[in-house]
Structure 1
Amino acid sequence: MRSFAVSALREPPFPARRHAAVELAAGESAEWARELGLIDGPAGLRRLAGADPAELAGRACPGAPVDRLRLLTDLISWLFVMDDACDEDGLGASPTRLAPTVADLLEVLDLHGDPEAPLPSGTGPLGVALHDLCRRVRARQRPALLLRLVCQLREYLLALLWEAANREHRRVPGVAEYVQMRRHTGGARPSFTITDLAYDALPGPGRWADPALTAVDDLAADLVCWCNDLFSYGKERSSAPDSHNLVTTIADEAGQDEEAALCAAADRFNAGLAEYAKRDAVLAEGGDELVHAYLTTRRNWIRATYDWSLAASRYA
């Protein structure tokens, strides 16, 4: 199925770049995950290594200081571990099973990374690691970004309960519903925020409400998630069939066979990429240096997801 994605998806028209410290970040991040208990034993280490979070982070954040590359790598590692716990280890099989974990993690997020605040009793490795990420963001002294990250992670966790409810009832969501919720379940938005933090260059608060800027942000998140869906579809279909894939939702809503749904999903990605390039060009033409930096992070993420997906054994 990877071969279909390679042949059907247009290559993002943005330069491919890679951080020089990817291997260093990979080793340090794997040790961070091991020390905090996110992974245990050789099998967990192999699964995380197969996801190659440092490679994705290094392509999405190619010019950042090494400590901020590490922060992004660690966030992506945490998201992969949480995703695997829900999708492959059964945690997300039903809302009643997932809800206690989500409640614990929401309580951790309520601390906003305060290094003096004690963790709730019984906090497991996912909570310990999440608090560590928030603490490190808080230390950058960018409170607006910390609040945005916490809000986006809350949305991510609550959206996982939506997925769990669908699994429990064997429900396939409609395409429009899926596209909206995928922006949250995919973890793209908190990843964008950490990438913004890496460069310390952001548009002023007044620009965040600009519909043109928010539309580009939404579309960038869509493209990252749809690219992921097309590259991961083959593995999901063969190992643990799940309704949470753009291909599956298109097939169910339109009554199409698999081949037609794959083509329709690829067409949606390609059309979205063309639309993104147009919107990006308009904003770049009239934007200042901070808007340009913001746009660069989104371009990097779209390109990084495509390039990383070509080789990641996570989808083999």
Structure 2
Amino acid sequence: MRLRHTAARSLLTAVATLAIGLLGLAAPAPASASVLDIPPRGANDWSCTPDAAHPQPVVLVNGTFKLMAENWSALAPRLQRAGYCVFAVNYGHAETDAVPRAAAELKDFVEAVRGATGARKVDLVGHSQGGMMPRYYVKFLGGDRVVDDLIGIVPSNHGTTNPLAAPLGKLFCPACTDQMAGSKLLKKLNAGTETPAGPDYTVLTTRHDEIVVPYTSALLSGQARSVTNVVLQDRCPLDPFLHDQATKDPVVAQWVLNALGRTGPADPDFRPRCIGAA
């Protein structure tokens, strides 16, 4: 019952956010003057120059229906304090556009970040659709040459069986259709290798995910040297975070920093400090 109520609240939030976007108050362009395009604290300092210890700027990629200021309110300042140049963007009309279109928009934003910072590559950290959609950019739009790390937080890599996806897709959300388990888009994306050479891949998921169902659909196949799959409760059994607020989980933040701070994906033997640990 608790999960059903949480899913209902998530849907209401999503629909409200989308309605604002469809009224023209939210624009995907990074230079928009709209209050809804205010970046999270710590992000979008276009004068930031990466240093030798943090050579790749970090681009944060929203989940469906999310606004960057809320989606990354915890993680963006934490990454900035750790020394990274951090960037975020609202894209795809509240992230409802079809995945190929969103991936093309992400490509343009990455190029803008590379141009501003002088960085050869970037790291991508994405939530939900934002963890899956960049794989389209990597696989089909040349992102394999410029992405060093792709870190997905509860990503929809193999879609969801959540019954809300189909009606939302029919109403106004092509991205929701693309994220249905077995969709044409996901069959194309996951055909052959799921993890093309170039980036290192880290997946962080929770057993409590009520949106990407089953939670195991987030996991990626690939060689251990370039792919690490993490189920949060395997290290922190009492971790309570569900899908929507997973980017605010301090355990997730530790895994993200571990992946960003080393060669290769996150260390599968990493031991984060669990919530409530002494």
- TM value normalised by structure 2: 0.34
- TM value normalised by structure 1: 0.31
Specify which structure has the higher proportion of helix.
Answer: 1
Instruction: Give the number of the structure whose alpha-carbon radius of gyration is greater.
Output: 1
Task: Report 1 or 2 for greater relative contact order, CA contacts < 8 Å, sequence distance ≥ 6.
Answer: 1
